[in-house]
């Protein structure tokens, strides 16, 4: 597995700004889909659970997947003793049961090395008509992560939609829903557009 690039961030991850950003993603996701209480969910790049724990009460259970042990440790500390949820400290390819009804991911896809490979694998582990919701940023100039290692400087939405289609999904919607303004260089404020893509297995 890759190095834990979030080890030094995990303890401080849950800032008001991150909570605000994930709240907006959850709100937009809930506008686009209807969650069913019998669904088994899978969150890719779940981090400290800022997204998944908001929707956990409406699902049967969730597999919280992430490659960062440190982020998952924070998430674990929030789960009760008798939690029905699972934590998967691994790359997505290590999940092979074909029982996932709903996949969601917020700001983690740009960390995945190979999107085509990931989408093809996701398509194999989901049930008929399963829904996938991905939130991330549109193509940016590299300033969003500046000196940190990153696989994708955001996404070209049209290209990403084609990648979903090639992997066996039908696009239900793909649109931008929020602008993040960040001061990555002192005194320089840059806007990063966030998008949501909702697709269904065909």
Ligand X SMILES: C[S@@+](CC[C@H](N)C(=O)[O-])C[C@H]1O[C@@H](n2cnc3c(N)ncnc32)[C@H](O)[C@@H]1O
Q: Considering the rule CB under 6 A, would residue 87 count as an interface residue with ligand X?
A: no
The residue among 134 and 157 lying less far from ligand X, judged by its C-beta, is 134
The residue among 85 and 111 lying less far from ligand X, judged by its C-beta, is 111
* Residue 104 backbone dihedrals phi, psi, to 5 degrees: -145, 155
Is residue 135 within 8 Å of 28, Cβ to Cβ?
yes
Query: Using CB under 6 A as the criterion, what x/- string covers residues 12-41 for binding ligand X?
Result: ------x---x-------------------
Range 132-151, binding ligand X (CB under 6 A): none
Sole binder of ligand X in the list 51, 63, 122, 133 (CB under 6 A): 51
Q: How far apart are CA 150 and CA 183, in angstroms?
A: 18
What is the edge-to-edge ordering of all strands in the sheet holding 188-201?
86-89, 61-66, 40-44, 100-106, 126-137, 188-201, 169-185
Q: Considering the rule CB under 6 A, would residue 47 count as an interface residue with ligand X?
A: yes
Is residue 30 within 8 Å of 7, Cβ to Cβ?
no
The residue among 63 and 157 lying less far from ligand X, judged by its C-beta, is 63
Q: Considering the rule CB under 6 A, would residue 55 count as an interface residue with ligand X?
A: no
Sole binder of ligand X in the list 63, 64, 66, 132 (CB under 6 A): 66
Question: How many residues of this chain bind ligand X (CB under 6 A)?
Answer: 21
Q: Which two tokens stand for residue 84?
A: 């029905």
Sole binder of ligand X in the list 63, 68, 88, 155 (CB under 6 A): 68
The residue among 67 and 123 lying less far from ligand X, judged by its C-beta, is 67
Q: Considering the rule CB under 6 A, would residue 195 count as an interface residue with ligand X?
A: no
CB of 80 to ligand X, least distance (A): 20
Q: How far apart are CA 202 and CA 186, in angstroms?
A: 47
Using DSSP's 3-state secondary structure scheme, residue 143 falls into coil
Q: Pairing state of beta strands 126-137 and 61-66?
A: unpaired
Q: What separation, in Å, do the N-terminal and C-terminal C-alpha atoms of the chain show?
A: 31
Q: Which two tokens stand for residue 138?
A: 């549109």
Sole binder of ligand X in the list 74, 87, 106, 126 (CB under 6 A): 106
Q: Which residues make up the interface to ligand X (CB under 6 A)?
A: 6, 18, 22, 44-47, 50-51, 65-68, 71, 91-92, 106-108, 111-112
């Amino acid at each position: 597995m890759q190095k834990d690039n979030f080890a030094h961030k995990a303890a401080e991850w849950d800032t008001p700004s991150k909570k605000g950003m994930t709240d907006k993603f959850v709100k937009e996701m809930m506008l686009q889909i209807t969650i069913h209480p019998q669904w088994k969910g899978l969150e890719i790049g779940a981090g400290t659970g800022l997204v998944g724990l908001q929707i956990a009460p409406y699902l049967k259970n969730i597999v919280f997947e992430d490659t960062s042990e440190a982020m998952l440790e924070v998430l674990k500390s929030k789960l009760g003793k008798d939690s029905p949820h699972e934590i998967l400290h691994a790359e997505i390819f290590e999940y092979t049961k074909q029982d996932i009804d709903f996949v969601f991911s917020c700001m983690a896809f740009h960390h995945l090395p190979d999107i085509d490979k990931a989408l093809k694998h996701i398509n194999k582990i989901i049930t008929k008509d399963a829904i996938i919701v991905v939130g991330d940023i549109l193509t940016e100039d590299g300033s969003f992560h500046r000196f940190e290692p990153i696989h994708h400087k955001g996404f070209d939405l049209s290209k990403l939609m084609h990648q979903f289609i090639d992997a066996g999904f039908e696009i239900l919607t793909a649109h931008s829903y929020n602008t993040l303004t960040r001061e990555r260089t002192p005194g320089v404020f840059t806007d990063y557009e966030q998008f949501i893509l909702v697709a269904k297995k065909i």
